[in-house]
Amino acid sequence: MTDEKSSLTGELSIEAVLLDADFLVKYQSVDKAYELLKNAIERSPRSIPLREKMREICIKSKNFTEAARQCLALVSLYITKEDFDLAYDRLQEAKLLDPRISVAPGLEAIRRARRPVFNEPRERSQVKTSVALAGDLSLISIFDAIQVIENSKLTGLLSIKSSSLLGSVYFNEGKIVDAEANGKNGTQAFRDIIEVSSGVFEFSTSEKEFPVVIQISNNTNFLLDVLTQLETEKAQKEGLAN
């Protein structure tokens, strides 16, 4: 009975911290929200909701180093819960937030958790972790990067980082299957991503395919459809303004 009561009290306390953090952010007290969450995480270091909230606030305040640190902590926690897709997402996000981070140890941890091998030989099969493509969006457009990925039929994650956006586009054998940006996913996220013209991008290959959220026949038609929609909406707004 005591353990159950203690657990319930802990959950209520974490919920209260999350609500307080949201309240502080709403009223432009990001530093206080950061300190509140930092102290709460020290008390409950294995709390996924606390670390996710800290990650979210750090990204919004452009504290990318701390956001990356929280992503790496979340990778381990999600592996423990056997939520490997989220573990992989946070690992890639950590790399995007801080390019100095090596994703190799995290990918190996995910691989071993998915398929634990006993008495594994000393020479393991190499995990595919190499960056296949990277560049400056002011020199190489997102469209050019997508075309290279499509022509090469690559499976992996295209990460985009600019002053206004942190996003990802997922590919299965060169075809776009999902996107994430600004708290959105799917086509809505992709609409935000393709309007970015400055910043950096990096494409990392993946040994596994991603769930298909964006259902398309080919990338070119999808890109044209999205661009047409954006141009139409822009023209409508300009018409209303006039």
pLDDT per residue as tens digits for the range 94-134:
888 887 777 667 777 777 776 554 334 333 333 344 566 78
Give how many domains the chain has, as a whole number: 2
Q: Average the pLDDT over 163-177 and give the result.
A: 90
Q: Average the pLDDT over 37-61 and give the result.
A: 91
**How sure is the predictor about 11, in pLDDT bands with cuts at 50, 70 and 90?**
low
pLDDT of 163 reads 79
Q: Average the pLDDT over 77-82 and give the result.
A: 88
Please check the confidence at residue 159 and state whether its pLDDT lies above 80: yes
Please check the confidence at residue 177 and state whether its pLDDT lies above 90: yes
CA distance 56 to 184: 13
Residue 123 maps to a domain: no
Shared-domain flag, residues 234 and 166: yes
pLDDT of 37 reads 92
Give the side-chain half-sphere CA count within 13 A for 86.
14
**How sure is the predictor about 140, in pLDDT bands with cuts at 50, 70 and 90?**
confident
Shared-domain flag, residues 110 and 62: yes
User: Which among 114, 145, 165 is the end of a domain?
Assistant: 114
Shared-domain flag, residues 181 and 95: no
Shared-domain flag, residues 173 and 235: yes
pLDDT of 134 reads 81
pLDDT of 118 reads 39
**How sure is the predictor about 12, in pLDDT bands with cuts at 50, 70 and 90?**
low
Please check the confidence at residue 92 and state whether its pLDDT lies above 70: yes
Shared-domain flag, residues 104 and 141: no
State the pTM of this model.
0.51
Shared-domain flag, residues 136 and 65: no
Shared-domain flag, residues 105 and 46: yes
Please check the confidence at residue 3 and state whether its pLDDT lies above 80: no
For residue 208, the enclosing domain spans 131-241
pLDDT of 90 reads 85
User: Which among 114, 144, 170 is the end of a domain?
Assistant: 114
Shared-domain flag, residues 136 and 178: yes
**How sure is the predictor about 29, in pLDDT bands with cuts at 50, 70 and 90?**
confident
CA distance 194 to 145: 11
Give the per-residue SS3 of the chain: CHHHHHHHHHHHHHHHHHHHHHHHHHCCCHHHHHHHHHHHHHHCCCCHHHHHHHHHHHHHCCCHHHHHHHHHHHHHHHHHCCCHHHHHHHHHHHHHHCCCCCCHHHHHHHHHHHCCCCCCCCCCCCCCCCEEEEEECCCCCHHHHHHHHHHCCCCEEEEEECCCCEEEEEEECCEEEEEEECCEEHHHHHHHHCCCCCCEEEEEECCCCCCCCCCCCCHHHHHHHHHHHHHHHHHHHHHHHC
User: Which among 114, 147, 173 is the end of a domain?
Assistant: 114
Shared-domain flag, residues 99 and 190: no
Domain with residue 20: its CATH number is 1.25.40.10
Shared-domain flag, residues 207 and 110: no
Q: Which of 179-183, 220-224, 235-239 has the lowest mean pLDDT?
A: 235-239
Residue 126 maps to a domain: no
pLDDT of 130 reads 59
Residue 20 maps to a domain: yes
